[in-house]
Each structure stands twice: as C-alpha cells, then as structure tokens.
Amino acid sequence: MAHGRAEGRPGPVCGEAYGMSRFAATSGVSQVTLRNASRMDPRSQGRRPNRRCYRQGDSEERKAIRDVTAAQQTIHVGGEWRSALSGATREIIDPVDATAFAVVAEGGVRDTDDAVAAARAAFDDGSWPRTPVAERAALLRRVADLLERDRERIGALESQDAGKTLEEGRVDVDCVRDAFRYFADLVEKEDGGRAVDAGSDDIRSVVVHEPVGVCALITPWNYPLLQASWKIAPALAAGNTFVIKPSEITPLTTVVLVELLLEAGLPLGAANIVTGPGHTVGARLAEHPDVDLVSFTGGLVSGTKVARAAADSVKKVALELGGKNPNVVFADACSTPEGFDTAVDQALNAAFIHSGQVCSAGSRLIVEESLRERFVAELARRAGQIRLGRGTDEGVECGPLVSAAQLARTEEYVASALGEGAVLRAGGERPAGPGYFYRPTVLDRCHRRMRVIREEIFGPVLTVETFRTEEEAVALANDTEYGLAGAVWTSDAARARRVAARLRHGTVWINDFHPYLPQAEWGGFGKSGIGRELGPTGLAEYREAKHIYQNLAPRPVRWFAGTTAKGQA
C-alpha cells in the first residue's frame, strides 16, 4: 500500500496562499465546502446528513449514531460525508464466511482531487496549522478519550473487518489511544525551537519546526486502525491537514476514527478520507502536486510505485514496506524447562498472531542445530492445537486470512516450499468449511534459496533454518533484502548484546518478540522502507525545519565599492 507541490509553487507556509476561488474552479468541491474547510473555528464538527455528533457521556443520544456497516457515504471531504462522485460502491467481505457485511463508497480520482483541495484550503487558510500547541494536544487527548469510550464497538468492528480475534481488536484500540496520548504529550513538551550559537551577541539564531502541509496517508489492510493512528496522530500534532486512504479491503474502522476526530472538534477540512482502491486513489495521492508528504505502509511493489510517482513533485516520502523477520534461538535459551517453554511459546506468537499477517511477524525461525529436533517437534505439536474460528467466539485463538487472494497466495508459497524440499511438520491445508482459513503451518529443513525464505508471505507460515555457530546465526538473520525486525534468544548476556548489535534490523528484541512502544521509533533497514514512525522521529517526519537568523545590530557590509566605500568622498 502506500504513499507536493505544484511545479514552481513555493511551500504552503511562506508561499502564496491558494484561495478558495482557485480550488472551486478546478475541482468538484463546492464553495460552501471550501468555506467550511477554511473556517477559523476549532469547534467545527463535520456531520453526516441526519447525524448528530455527541460528546462523551451522551450515552442515550449516541444510540442514534449511524452504523458504519450500513453506510455508503464513507468519503469525507471538507466537512461533508458523501458517496463517490461516480456512484460506485464496494462490498466489504467478512473473511470468516466470505459474505458481504458492509457497503462503502468506491472513490476515484475526482473524489481524491476534491479531498486534496479541501485539505489544501484548510492548511493554507484554515485554523488548524495556526492552532496553539496546547490546543492541538488537548484535541488529541479528547480523541484518546473517545477511543476509550468506544473500545468495545470499535474493537468488534476491527475484528470483523480484518478477521482478527476480538481481544486483538481491543488491544489495537488501546494502542491507538496510547499513540494519540503520546504525541499529545510529546508536542506539548517542546520549548519552541533550538537556539543556535552564532558566535555573536548581536545575532539571534533559532531552528524551528513547521508542519509539512497536506499529508497523504495510505494504510494497509492488516492493522487498519493502528496504522492510521501512527500517521494521523503525529500529522495532526505537527499541525498538518491530511487525506487518508485506508485499504479498500478493511476501511471501516478508519471511517470511524475520522468520525471521532470530528466529534473531538477538529476543524473541517483538516481530516479527509477517500475510500477506494490503491491503483486510482492511492496513485493519485502519490502524484498529486498539492500533496506535500506521502506516508505509505504496505507491500514493497506498491511502495516503489509510490516513491516513483512522488518523485516528479519532489514531495517528502515515508515508506514502511514490511519484513522477513528472523527469530534466532540459541540452545542455551532452552537449557531449563521454563526457558524451553517460553521460547517455544514466543515462537508461536511471533509467527501466528493475526494469522501471520503482521509486517514484523517472526516467520523465519533460525534455531541452533543441537536444539532443532526437540524444539520443532514441540512447536509443531502446539501449532496443530491452535483453535481457528470467528474472532468474537469464545476460545478462538486465530482468525482467517483477510481475503481469498491472500489465502491463495499462502497456499502457493507452501506448495512452492514443499516442491523445493521443505518438510511439512504442521498445517499446510485449509480446514473444512467456509471462509479464508488456513491452518498454522511449520516448514522444516528450509534453506536460504527457497522463495518461502526470501519473500514476505503474510500468512500463518513458519519456516525453520538451523545454525551451528554465532557467526552463522548472524549471517542467516541478515541474509534478507528486508530489515524491519528480529529477535535473539539466549541466556548469555554478552552474546545477546553482540548479536543485537550486528543484526541489521530496525527493531531487535532480546528474549521477547513483538512488543513496541509509541515512544520508540519503528521502521526498517533496506527494502523495509525509509523513514520512521512513532517516537520523536515519527513526529519529525511531518515537519520541516526552518532556520531563523536575526541580526540585532545591522550595519553596512562594504563588500562592494561605491561612493560610500572607504576612502571615497
């Protein structure tokens, strides 16, 4: 999935402000919408027709809020919820039983242009970029409170839309809440710039940070709500406006999140959403001359297309493109029954959470040769006992893959691995019944020339490689074009530090797998992408640095000769 400026036009802050009449002449956005988008009222709320937005605690009245699964007006442009201009719609499929349970608008290029125009007007002429930092932080905290209020509703919707368990959906909502609170705290603690010593008391020099402008945010289908928050929260904290394009497969919770932003009081036009496919909406956002930054999370192929499209307008680009993540287990980590049990349990979590549809999934188990047989036998036994089903059902541990295409892709990779000599130890088939389920699969005796080792699968498939020495373990772990995340398991503290230092991955866990912190940067080396999300660097992605140099005692330089030059009358 994935991630301007008109040729010759200055930046949005210090260049000319594009007025509303220009936008109205070149897009389908109405004058009313543009006036709303540039309204200097931070309390403005976008409303759907016949829909009220309610404040926290208004529980009885909130019963009137429309169910997003019954909606076809899922495009929000400058304060108006609407259908696609073409009238096109898309059915959203429940991956548990392959039936449609929602219909959304299928936006296109014209819808995208309108959304960018609204975001441009809101940035150039609206209130949000000029809203004081404390007020921006307060709004982000209100969004976090609304997420906490609606945790069950949104968690259940995320479960149905993406096929994950209800508990995973709840955890996602909690993580989204934490991201909004983190960026609120981060931006509020700033001191207004970095003083630069110019070597003279007559010079005042400071570096300040300003919002980039209009941000195009393109998010993936596996963690639609979480990935949206990793982009929206810092973008808004920095004072930007945005257009977000969620995956066409799992757009529903992103629509809800935009509703919550409006309910929290975000000015109209600051947040816009276009539901639609990547090849039209995503591609247009990436190339659009009035977009200043594109942040894309998704696959490598789509990410490279985004980068090429963005290059013509030289806009900022941030790409998170997945990984092929090693989980290195040394025998000394399993020298006790408790250590063995923990390492096996964590290997299961690393590979099979959300059916392996995780960019940081530990899909490559690299285990010391002396431990391999015992470790893999127990791993396969437990993998065979993982309970599949609808995520909201009691006792279910793993849901389906997100789509028929993803199921077919997983089957093809497993068949390829078996054809290349891998040994099937668990899974390797669909269970009987409807839906896009695939049994958690363990493939033993794998080697680095196999496609299943080198390419990202995004399915419940764990490959097993072995090593004899620390040097060999590091070489195997780094033998990938990606570099998102990896882990090392050992009871030897010195070895843990050595291996962690040598792994070429953006996140390295020692004796753990999968946890992340909103305070710590997330991103990868190599083909895992460019830029970082979360942490202070995640906020910096949505800003431009500006150096302001002030001479407090200006005087002539006398560089060029003239009538006032020294020695002349």
Domain spans of the chain?
68-321+528-548, 326-510
pLDDT of 15: 29
Averaged pLDDT in 10-residue chunks for the chain of 569 residues: 32 29 38 43 39 36 56 93 97 96 97 98 98 97 98 96 96 98 95 91 96 98 97 98 98 98 98 98 98 97 96 96 97 98 98 97 98 98 98 96 97 98 98 97 97 97 98 98 98 98 98 97 97 97 97 94 59
* Cα–Cα distance, 500 to 331 (Å, whole number): 17
pLDDT of 531: 96
* Cα–Cα distance, 139 to 492 (Å, whole number): 46
* Cα–Cα distance, 207 to 197 (Å, whole number): 11
pLDDT of 72: 87
* Cα–Cα distance, 38 to 42 (Å, whole number): 10
In the structure encoding, which two tokens stand for residue 393, read together? 């059902």
The DSSP call for residue 384 is T
pLDDT of 28: 46
Among candidates 342, 162, 334, which has minimal Cα distance to 247?
162
pLDDT of 24: 34
pLDDT of 29: 47
Residue 23 has φ and ψ, to the nearest 5°, of -65, -40
pTM of the complete model: 0.88
Give Cα 459 distance to the centre of its chain.
19
pLDDT of 566: 53
* Cα–Cα distance, 20 to 18 (Å, whole number): 7
Give Cα 179 distance to the centre of its chain.
12
326-510 CATH, one of 3.40.50.2300, 2.70.240.10, 3.40.309.10, 3.40.50.1360 = 3.40.309.10
For 513, counting Cβ atoms within 10 Å of its Cβ (0-12 exposed, 13-18 middle, 19+ buried), the class is buried
Annotation marks residue 188 as catalytic: no
Can you tell me which residue has the tokens 């499209």?
309
Give Cα 385 distance to the centre of its chain.
32
Q: Do domains 68-321+528-548 and 326-510 have the same CATH topology?
A: no
Determine which one of 320, 470, 541, 544 is catalytic. 320
* Cα–Cα distance, 527 to 485 (Å, whole number): 12
CATH class, 68-321+528-548 region: alpha beta
* Cα–Cα distance, 236 to 220 (Å, whole number): 20
